[in-house]
């Protein structure tokens, strides 16, 4: 099972309302369906020699093996939750995330806004009712995640810095740190971004990773004691 992919972006294209990237990862080309917002971002930038990282949901079928890519683990987890609803397929899930942010969908579920849910292609009245009913109890962690976002995080607009922070998260996860350990230190990293930005040449992936690991190691030491 593929969890995430990091590699060189080879090509991007659109087929009807579906958006795709081709990534070269260690000599293999992976065709991945992505969200429209990320596609538009890639489409307006130079793609040659560009490396990207995507969280992957792999769906195996009798005649195909489909890959769906997301720029954050929260998007991937949200997509999986949507697919857990009876009658909801991958394209409805992608269509929902193409049309609305996670926060907007959560708010629609909380307020039982059937009209908004029904505006997603492929979702009718009965399906919207089922989505609202079955997903309402599953959004506690997503709602908590939205509340945990600090003001500093929301103010960061530089895509390179955002990518740097995402890479730190991925690296920590690859080192077997758990999400419940990583999430509490994110506000600290956002504050460090501001401090390091004011010091010439001090803002880097390596420095952020070092800060994150030092904090996590200190927390672990205190727990052991």
Query: Do residues 214 and 178 both lie within one domain?
Result: yes
Which residues have a Cβ under 8 Å from the Cβ of 7 and sit 6 or more positions away? 23, 24, 25, 26, 30, 51, 52
Which residues have a Cβ under 8 Å from the Cβ of 72 and sit 6 or more positions away? 55, 166
Which residues have a Cβ under 8 Å from the Cβ of 146 and sit 6 or more positions away? 102, 103, 106
Query: Do residues 31 and 64 both lie within one domain?
Result: yes
pLDDT given at position 217 = 74
Query: Do residues 165 and 191 both lie within one domain?
Result: yes
Given 70, 86, 110, the domain boundary residue is: 70
Residue-number span of the structural domain to which 208 is assigned: 150-224
Query: Do residues 110 and 166 both lie within one domain?
Result: no
Residue whose tokens read 């629609």: 108
Query: Do residues 182 and 134 both lie within one domain?
Result: no
Query: Do residues 99 and 54 both lie within one domain?
Result: no
pLDDT given at position 162 = 78
pLDDT given at position 55 = 93
pTM here?
0.61
Given 36, 70, 104, the domain boundary residue is: 70
Query: Do residues 62 and 77 both lie within one domain?
Result: no
3-state secondary structure of 58: strand
Query: Do residues 155 and 113 both lie within one domain?
Result: no
Query: Do residues 77 and 142 both lie within one domain?
Result: yes
Query: Do residues 40 and 92 both lie within one domain?
Result: no
Query: Do residues 38 and 81 both lie within one domain?
Result: no
CA 159 to CA 165: how far, in whole Å? 10
Residue 71 has a CB neighbour count (10 Å cut-off) of 19
Tens of pLDDT, residue by residue over 100-126, are 888 888 888 888 888 889 999 889 888
Q: Are 19 and 34 in contact (CB under 8 A)?
A: yes
Which portions of the chain are predicted below pLDDT 70? Answer: 45-49, 139-158, 194, 196-202, 218-225
**CATH code at position 89:** 1.10.150.20
Given 130, 146, 162, the domain boundary residue is: 146
**CATH code at position 28:** 2.40.50.140
pLDDT given at position 58 = 94
Number of domains in the chain: 3
pLDDT given at position 90 = 92
């Amino acid at each position: 099972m593929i969890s995430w992919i990091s590699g060189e972006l080879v090509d991007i294209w659109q087929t009807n309302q579906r958006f795709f990237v081709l990534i070269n990862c260690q000599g293999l080309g992976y065709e991945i369906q992505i969200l429209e917002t990320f596609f538009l971002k890639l489409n307006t930038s130079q793609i040659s020699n560009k490396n990207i990282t995507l969280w992957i949901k792999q769906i195996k079928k009798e005649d195909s093996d489909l890959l769906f890519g997301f720029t954050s683990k929260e998007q991937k987890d949200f997509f999986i939750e949507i697919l857990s609803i009876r009658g909801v397929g991958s394209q409805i899930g992608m269509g929902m995330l193409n049309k609305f942010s996670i926060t907007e969908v959560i708010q629609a579920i909380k307020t039982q806004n059937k009209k908004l849910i029904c505006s997603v292609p492929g979702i009718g009245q009965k399906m919207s009712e089922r989505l609202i009913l079955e997903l309402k109890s599953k959004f506690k962690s997503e709602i908590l995640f939205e509340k945990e976002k600090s003001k500093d995080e929301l103010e960061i607009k530089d895509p390179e810095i955002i990518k740097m922070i995402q890479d730190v998260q991925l690296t920590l996860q690859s080192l077997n740190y758990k999400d419940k350990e990583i999430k509490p230190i994110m506000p600290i990293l956002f504050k460090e971004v501001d401090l390091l930005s004011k010091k010439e040449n001090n803002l880097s992936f390596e420095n952020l990773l070092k800060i994150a690991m030092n904090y996590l190691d200190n927390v672990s030491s205190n727990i052991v004691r």
